[in-house]
Amino acid sequence: METQENRTGNDLNRTSENVVLTNKLRNARKEGITKGALITGLIGLILILGIGLLLYSIYKRDHNTHLALMENQKLLFTEQLVERDSMINDWLTTFDEIESNLNAIKQKEKIINMQASDSEFPKGKKEQVLEDIKYINTLIEENKKKIAYLNSQLKKSGNTITGLQARITQLETSMQQYETAITELKATLTKKDFEIEQLNTRMFALQDTLIFKDETINNQTDKLNQAFLATGTFKDLRDKGLISKEGGFLGIGRKESLKEDFPDSLFEMIDVTETKTIPVNSRKAKLITEHPTNSYQLIRENENTIAYIEIKDPSEFWKISKYAVVEIAK
């Protein structure tokens, strides 16, 4: 009987242990599943965060690239606007210059027509009309160059300025009309015995004459201002054949004198208007040629050295002779 009870107790104990063991396994399995789920969730979260960061990085990079492109386009557009504004201002300035020339042409044309209608048409008016026509031709040539410049700029811009080509064409038409008017005016003046070609020839001949006269006057002035200078010791000057000693008694009291018929090549050619001093840098110095004493002065560097001869009055100094011979003693 005790044995049966013991068996029953043992069975109950086993059953209880099995239940406990089963619960433990079930709890362990639940804990394992929970931990696995947490780990899986963490991994998934990390992956999501990683993908998010990657996508954000790609977006930010593309965004920065797009911003840089937009900034470059903005700078390029700004430069193009500045260049366009500068070009337009340049065109407007050129237009103003052309208009100013056209107004000047109109005024000159009116004056010429009034003068040409004079039945007497004196010589003075003819020459004035010729100058006015020459001036008009100059303005027309200037306008042609400016219009050519506008055309070239228009081509460079791709003909994008509305109305500019029409304005340029209008200016070209105006210039052609003025050229035609000037041609007709010249024909009218020719009919009135207005010899434009002859006047031009006379004008050029007069210019040549004036140039020749100016050259002649300049040459004569240069010759008038020419002088000849020789400086040296007695031996130097004597060896050149410029001076000698004459007079005296038995070699005593002889004086230096300038020889005659000497070539100018022995002298240094100077300009009297520019030469204010004659350098000597010697112990003694004296002029062999004749010059008024009040027209020059010996300037000393110290007690033993004369630095130079100062020409105080050039016109007086060179009045007697255009040759100056200075003897120095070292």
- For the chain, domain boundaries: 90-216, 225-329
Q: What is the pLDDT of residue 208?
A: 78
Per-residue pLDDT tens over the stretch 108-128 = 777 777 666 665 555 666 677
Burial 55-68 (b: 16+ CB within 10 A, else e): eeeeeeeeeeeeee
The 10 Å Cβ neighbour count of residue 245 is: 13
Of 183, 94, 86, 170, the residue nearest 133 (C-alpha): 183
Is the pLDDT at 27 greater than 60? The verdict is: yes
Helix (H, G, I), strand (E, B) or coil at 6: helix
Per-residue pLDDT tens over the stretch 217-230 = 777 777 888 999 99
Domain at 90-216: CATH code: 1.20.58
Is the pLDDT at 59 greater than 60? The verdict is: yes
Q: What is the pLDDT of residue 98?
A: 76
User: Does the model's pTM come out above 0.85?
Assistant: no
Are the beta carbons of 245 and 254 closer than 8 angstroms?
A: yes
Residue 263 burial (C-beta neighbours within 10 Å; 0-12, 13-18, 19+): exposed
